[in-house]
A and B are shown apart, each in its own frame.
Chain A
């Protein structure tokens, strides 16, 4: 029986409000020094609009969601400040940091007093080998975690690193997620059993519980689902929960749409093919119609090789309400996409001053 160390004593102390805030920079290749130095208020991280003003596209695809989060965060979690840096991308293996690059992120985070989570996508064999090199450095870092998004990597990491803190990534959380119809999942017109099945996973079943115990997993990440998850999905489990905001993962492929922009001929969409990291420059927005034919639609956005939906304000409210009320959910992970101001100015400067953490700002703090 494989068993890891992941008890309450090893979990870093929570922020003042009892909720830890992690910032994820899935498309950044060097640490966000300006953020770590406290030069960028967290609200600014969410207020800048990729593809919006100044870039000429007029796009506003995440604006509502991100501004809603910026407004709601200080109201629900006054005084909360980011204390964890998420390094890596949970869908693309090509964005796995090298051991050297990861070392830079770890040093930068340590200098600012932040903990680090290495985020792994679903890995192929080659990616697993690279990951093992990275994890050696992680183990030395206080509070460090590895977020694994496939069970093969969980198994490998636990076998090689019995004391490593492993977090189960959101891609492994099997719950129906389809922004086109998710509003209907909880419909009173649906059979009760169907409603229940569409608003929860199979993770409370004995077999899954056995795996969580066997692999010593004390935390799992989940998405901000459009449908309200059943209470048991939140509180009926032993592990802690981290919730992503403001993007809900919808689906991913190992062939990448933005990367195909500069691939000639039929080489496009080949899994694992070379790219120019077009994901740091471009996203693709799709407007999918909702059932009913009344012209209503939802925006999906291809960020790299995955499709996301920036959740509306009422979902953000629901998630933050749960966080501030205590319970198993005690961390949010805020994704800062490519193209934000912080991404553009992040790589300038070094030696962040740990006394200047970015704080949540907003009306509720006054």
Chain B
């Protein structure tokens, strides 16, 4: 089982490799894209600058350094869709990244673009992004048929959902599951809102005026009586949940450990399911944040691969995080109600 680590600069390779990174994923947004689209249409799921490499030479250098340590590099092109003109722009760009910069594969979200990539660059590995929302075994079959080499599971799946998907993928595709950082309140593959200028809609919702609307006279009566308390509690819980999904308000612990969505105590189950890579999200995070996250995941994975029991691995994961009150709240877990 490899740990898939976000990277945004060639200088980060050495330290992340030393801490146990198994593979890297990065973003690349060339100046030509910015000239065409400004900041209005993001080339991948991060803003045009933060977390992205702007020069292809930097991608080449990153790949060179990573390969020297035996680590593959994948570049993400995971906008929800690309128009025909954008695909015409991207295909030669990706061709150059593969042939001249030496990247090992790309991550995409647009099913049509995946088909076109396979046709244009049949030797390049293509990973189906979590933004493709691969929720069922039929999707794994579909991806295998159109030539994806890996499926990245969306955040909303539980470990019990992941087992049959890994079974469907076995021997045909690699699998990747989230283990740390950057939650989504909504299903990423079906959320076409923008984070640009106005921020994430999900983070905004708890802070805007809202009201619970009864849809029937009976509901109106209930809302005045027995459902009055639960409805208020619901909106309060929604605020809490969004806060946890948003990295606990994008905070870190005193020890520099990033708070927020976490699947550490499910690593045992993910390994048992046959997941081949564990994803740490957060390309735009600082190097210390990336290192802190990687060390935690490495520690738990070493325990699991060393033969720790499910319970032992889970309890040690909670101890390593060292925020038991957040773990106990329940809203910080990727694999809630299932593994922990």
Residues of A within 8 A of B (CB): 50-51, 54-57, 59, 61, 91, 122-125, 127-128, 150-156, 159, 171, 174-178, 180-181, 185, 190-191, 193-194, 196-198, 200-211, 250-255, 257-258, 260-262, 265-273, 280-289, 291, 297, 300-301, 307, 337-339, 344
Contact = CB atoms under 8 A, between A and B. Distances in A.
Given A56-B223, A57-B211, A301-B213, 4 more contacts: A211-B111, A284-B211, A288-B205, A339-B214
A207 B111 contact: yes
B324 interface: no
B260 interface: no
Contacts of B86: 197, 202
Contacts of B185: 253, 255
Contacts of A284: 210-213, 235
A174 B87 CA distance: 15
Contact of B139 (A152, A204, A262): A152
A59 B161 contact: no
Nearest to A54: B217
B155 to A, nearest CB: 9
Contact of A205 (B112, B135, B140, B209): B112
Given A124-B136, A251-B201, A289-B208, A191 B36 contact: yes
A285 B87 contact: no
Interface stretch (B75-83, B97-105, B289-297): B75-83
Given A50-B215, A201-B83, A260 B238 contact: yes
B319 interface: no
A178 to B, nearest CB: 4
Given A257-B234, A282-B219, A251 B329 contact: no
State the main secondary structure of chain B at its contact with A: helix
B177 interface: no
A150 B139 contact: yes
B253 interface: no
B135 A291 contact: no
A260 B36 contact: no
Given A175-B81, A202-B81, A272-B158, A194 B37 contact: yes
Contacts of A181: 194, 196-198
B192 A125 contact: no
A59 B336 CA distance: 35
B192 A176 contact: yes
A253 B205 CA distance: 14
Contact of A174 (B80, B204, B235): B80
B337 interface: yes
Contact of B136 (A150, A175, A191, A339): A150
A262 B205 CA distance: 21
B136 A152 contact: yes
B85 interface: yes
Interface string B255-285: 0000000000000000000000000000000
B192 A175 contact: yes
Contacts of A251: 186-187, 190-193, 201-202
Contact of A55 (B138, B201, B220, B231): B220
Nearest to B211: A285
| Interface-central residue, B110, B135, B186, by most chain A CB under 10 Å | B135
Contact of A266 (B142, B209, B329): B329
Nearest to B132: A151
A190 B213 contact: no
B333 to A, nearest CB: 9
Interface stretch (B22-30, B61-69, B114-122): B114-122
